[in-house]
Amino acid sequence: MPLRELSAIDNHYMSLALRLAVRGRGFVEPNPMVGAVLVRKATIIGQGWHQMFGGPHAEINALAQATAAPRHATLYVTLEPCCHTDKTGPCTQAIIAAGIKRVVVAIQDPNALVCGKGIAELRGAGILVDIGTLEEQARELNRPFIKWITTRQPYVIAKWAQTLDGCIADRHGQSQWISSSESRELVHQLRGRVDGIMVGIGTVLADDPMLTARPAKLSVCRTATRIILDSQCSLPLSSQLVRTAATTPTLVLHDKLLTGAGLRRARKLAQRGVQCIGIRADKNGTVDPAAALTELGKHNFTNILVEGGPKVLGSLLQKNLLDEGLVFIAPKLAGDQNARYAVEGIALKSINQAAKLKFAKPQSVGPDILLRWQKEAPR
């Protein structure tokens, strides 16, 4: 078969595998989303995806669902098959036992336990393995997993709504509602598929938020941990976050050198179900954002949504810790020099020092415009 024709066929089936992989979003973390398609004589005989953390991998599900014997078939899989035993057995052994003749892999698994070893094992068994089909799409799909497994820090998504002239709240801190109901619904969908939602204590004191995904009946609705950067454990016991901590995970990251009244407040929060963890503070006595992400990575947070406030966003941006941003721009003008803006605390010497972002195509969300930006994908 001509190489060009084979490439088009491979792209077709890998594209299907990627669409299958997306179905695992919100269910498989901290594992990656993976899809697999089994093809024999130009006919799909099996397909599957990694459906839940701890469950069978995509390749195993595709083999189990096969409508015909997979011997001499081609397997398309979006991530290198695993070759070690963890919660499930090695997929490489199942592939070899099934008699599959060719495996097409989008990307190698960045996990050091696998990274090239699964491919080598398949080739050692006489299976033809091709790597790189729709590689960029596969990397894009699993950006959070790739960052977490290689840096042990979660993928960080910033979100805010603003007026056309950049205001996120009026001079009194009032922000309800700048964005449309359609934009807020999209945010709830995002909340329903991340591991955690992070804010600073200033946002909590100003808005008393719940930080949950609503309505509950979403296609994917995880219960994200509410994360508050609160160096002195000032989270009010009367806040909605504390009152619901028994049913919705709530985490306070505070200064590890906390003493006196701060320690007593931490104990009272813990008694009400709030998890309190001490980490490094910066020279200003506020929780260091890099230390916060490192701590969250230890607890298997693969992706978090940061919803403010301006100082938290500023500190993350200044240290180049934001991976993606979602900015909802409402068709409104505030025109108030004393209003609040999205990002604070970055003292630029020149506009040339401003962060340079890569924008995706703008998207209309009701009357609003959604701008999405990303850092270059990790490798």
Give catalytic residues, as residue numbers. 59
> Which tokens sit at 279?
């980490």
User: Which parts of the chain fold into alpha helices (H)?
Assistant: 3-21, 58-64, 91-98, 117-124, 135-141, 143-151, 181-191, 201-207, 240-243, 260-271, 289-298, 310-318
CB-based contacts of 191, cutoff 8 Å, min separation 6: 197, 211, 212, 213, 224, 305
Peptide bond before residue 249 is cis, with ω within 30 degrees of 0: no
d(CA 264, CA 273): 15
Q: How far apart are CA 91 and CA 67, in angstroms?
A: 19
User: Tokens 């995880």 appear where?
Assistant: 222
Tokens of 98: 């099934």
Contact assessment for residue 175 and residue 187, using Cβ atoms and an 8 Å cutoff: no
Closest C-alpha to 355, from 342, 365, 368, 364:
342
Specify the DSSP element, H or E, that contains 219. Answer: none
Instruction: Kindly report the number of other CB atoms within 10 A of residue 112's CB atom.
Output: 10
Scanning 199-356, the segments in alpha helix (DSSP H) are: 201-207, 240-243, 260-271, 289-298, 310-318
Report helix, strand or coil for 148: helix
Locate 286 and state its tokens.
Answer: 């506020």
